[in-house]
Amino acid sequence: MQRHLKDLTLPGPTQGYSPRVPTHSKLKLLLEDRIKSIQDDPHNRLARIGVRPGMRVVDLGAGKGFYSLLSSSIVGSEGRVFAVEPDSFRAAIISRRASQEKIENLSVLCTGAEHLAEIPSSSVDTAFALNSLHHFNDKAAAFAEVNRVLKSGGRFYVRDIIRNWITWHGTRREEIPNLPSAGYSGKTVEVTRSGLEATFTK
């Protein structure tokens, strides 16, 4: 079931935390962001994806908002970012961070990649899924929904870890040749030691 973050109870200045809102400290989030920045420079990654001022962007599997928040600063007041995160615990963190930083061009959708009903058809310039593809419950449905919301010529960028005998976590290598591509005019797929990187163009 799709839920917008307006339906999640967030604490006011004098309220206690809702059981559904995690008590992550700002320091912990900053440390997590710093570690991610060391592992993969977010500015370079978003430049590679093609996030530009004025764009409408979808972050699928947004986690705690690391890429969504940065994307919102790049697209600016003329653009909009949709942070799609099915876990209400994490989605609430994104909403709270956006509120604290007074970000007004970020919409948090507590839903899966397969259910993007709140995003109009043919309205998005770029969508991306960074290390979240292996969490999609129905890849065919998710890719079809992304195709629906993308403008003609829009791109869906995917980067994911590859499951192996050490991590047992990520996209299975044998799944890669069969990634859904119906409705897309082109695709590029590359598998390296660091994982899967693919771009689908509508």
- 16 assigned to some structural domain: no
- Asked whether residue 155 is domain-assigned, the answer is yes
What is the tally of structural domains in the chain? 1
Residue 172 DSSP symbol = -
Residue 15 within a domain: no
Q: What pLDDT does 34 receive?
A: 53
CA torsion 94→202→186→58, rounded to 10°? 0
Q: Are 97 and 10 in contact (CB under 8 A)?
A: no
Distance CA 2, CA 54 (A): 26
Cα→Cα distances 159→110, 119, 162, Å: 21, 22, 10
Q: Print the domain residue range for 178.
A: 3-10+21-201
The structure tokens listed for 178 are: 């069969």
Q: Which residue has the tokens 């403008």?
A: 151
Give me Rg for the CA atoms of the chain.
17
DSSP 3-39: EEGGGS----TTPPPPTTS----HHHHHHHHHHHHHH
- The tokens 């969508």 sit on which residue? 127
Q: Is residue 135 part of a domain?
A: yes
* 172 lies in some domain: yes
Residue 90 located in a structural domain: yes
pLDDT > 50? residue 2: no
The better pLDDT of the pair 157, 31 is held by: 157
Question: Domain holding 164: CATH number?
Answer: 3.40.50.150
Residue 197 lies in a domain: yes
Do 51 and 105 contact (CB within 8 A), yes or no?
Answer: no
pLDDT (tens digit per residue) in 99-158: 999 999 999 999 999 999 999 999 999 999 999 999 999 999 999 999 999 999 999 999
State yes or no: pLDDT of 14 exceeds 90: no
0.85 exceeded by pTM:
no
Distance in angstroms between the alpha carbons of the first and the last residue of the chain: 27
User: When comparing pLDDT for 11 and 137, which is higher?
Assistant: 137
Residue 18 pLDDT > 60: no
